[in-house]
Structure 1
């Protein structure tokens, strides 16, 4: 009888321990996963919400008129989640800026590659894609061609890298148009930078002016530089 009495509590205890472990395991699982999403997935989801919110408020109100709280209100998140992904507003702005630059470049490249393999048509397609992208999304236009110039932290490497990307894209485009033309690489590089600056300043004026000039007029102005260089490159080399 004594042995039996002693054994019973141990059996209950043995049954209770696995149950306790299962409860603890479920508790940890709930902390790690919510609505089928892992902690990392939820963090990425919140980050994307902040980026989209930043695009909206920066692109409509301007960087200097927006606070972290404004971004969080737009994203419907608390401020602690902002600092989970970004150290400060400038870091969010930089992320949005680089994403928009990449998007704009992809739009231009896609348009050029889809056009007929004729230099003038490729020029028109690329420029149209660029300016239509800005016109269709004024938020992109404002961030890239107004606020990016004004935000101090954007000066230096970030803007220089974005400019270099477009320089390289234009140079590749010119080499595509004239694969057999013996133009020194350094000349193409300088010409590409010049074309980039020409179009960028026209774009800045157009955006700052609220897209006042008709798109056709802006495109015609930009094509002047491209077509002039095109004409120069088509000439036979002089003896």
Structure 2
């Protein structure tokens, strides 16, 4: 015990300080320029305590990136599951939540959309990339809305392209200091999605081309694993 705080709790708090330091240091400097000394200085901890929780700077970055991505996915999930149960409304809600999440803390753009995306692309080959989570959500939602979609459309490939569009739009927006209105940026994003939606509708066959509301509710809950 020290000042009434158990050793395990003090270690946990030091780890949290280093993670918070990581968000600020990586968000301002970028992963390539950040050093262990930068992290320790920001957290006001010695190198001894750094190695108590992390192996190296990459280890801190991976932890920070995973935490921010989880926060992003939770935000998108909440927005989509609370939106009216139709494709357009859910799409807008998810994209709006994504853009707002980045605008709320510009450091997230550098970490999640630039450095993390670059590193995650290296993991794509063995399927370990967190980016696949974004693609899986888009792919499975789309398949639920268009269960009789023509085999001519590769939904997985299309989802990858749409994720890329959202990411690069947000990066460009941040580089301009988020000057443009969020709703205006959202419309630019939706224009790319509109083309795919039109193509999907033209390529969907059968009288029961779209599922009923009960089926959609079940599908959306399954995608996001909600009750």
Same fold at TM > 0.5? yes
Task: Kindly state the Cα deviation for residue 75 of structure 1 after the two structures are TM-superposed.
Answer: 1.6
Normalised to the residue count of structure 2, the TM-score between the two structures is 0.78
Task: Kindly state the Cα deviation for residue 195 of structure 1 after the two structures are TM-superposed.
Answer: 1.3
Higher-Rg structure is 1
Measured in 1, the distance between the counterparts of 2:120 and 2:197 equals 33
Pairing partner for 1:66 from 30, 34, 37: 34
Structure with larger RCO (C-alpha < 8 A, sep 6+): 2
Name the residue aligned to 1:157.
Answer: 123
Matched, 1:100 2:43: no
Gaps of 5+ in 2: 207-227
Q: Is the 8 A contact 1:124 1:223 kept in 2?
A: yes
Name the residue aligned to 2:141.
Answer: 173
- Change in 2 beyond 3 A, CA 1:76/1:219: same
- Change in 2 beyond 3 A, CA 1:125/1:72: same
User: RMSD of the TM alignment (CA)?
Assistant: 2.6
Pairing partner for 2:170 from 190, 199, 203: 203
Name the residue aligned to 1:214.
Answer: 181
Number of residue equivalences: 203
Q: Deviations over 1:112-132 (max 9, x none)?
A: 110000111111100000001
Name the residue aligned to 2:211.
Answer: none
Normalised to the residue count of structure 1, the TM-score between the two structures is 0.74
Q: Is the 8 A contact 2:120 2:130 kept in 1?
A: no
Gaps of 5+ in 1: 1-32
Q: Deviations over 1:154-209 (max 9, x none)?
A: 6622896122111101112213333x334449822122112112222222222233
Q: Is the 8 A contact 2:120 2:129 kept in 1?
A: no
